[in-house]
Structure 1
């Protein structure tokens, strides 16, 4: 026979059981202390640097800002064998519908 169906032994025991049941219900509504995004956990597991998870002192993380502008480092590259297009010659249209170069 289950103990739940038996009457409480004492008044103190009944009060304790009631408070314990209320506490158990209240704990269900408490969010985790430090919820961590699952996506962040997966990224860290893959070896990606994740803020607040990864150790910033780990030597494998790059600390330089390589996303900065590279203005001044750009260079126009012309493929070999290709010459830049020549300037077009000036053309004038005559009254009779012909063109002079």
Structure 2
């Protein structure tokens, strides 16, 4: 059998210098109560629709994820009005209808 070669040293800090267990337990309970109170202030985690996340990554508008004020989602008010576009496309649509009929 091998001889134990572990050196044993007396504890350099005597237990007289340690606070009583009751004080340590009270400190622990105080910190625990503070943590519990702080957790109440953390908003609940809302699950996010993975499809919306993927759409946002692809650059598509995703309700509740995309910023509606982002310039790429704001409608372009400088383009021709819808009425003007309809007038320009009116005769072409009529020609297509005549060809199809």
Indicate the structure with greater helix content.
Answer: 2
Coarse TM-score class (shorter-chain normalised) = 0.3 to 0.5
TM normalised by structure 1 equals 0.39
Please, what TM-score do these two structures have when normalized by structure 2?
A: 0.39
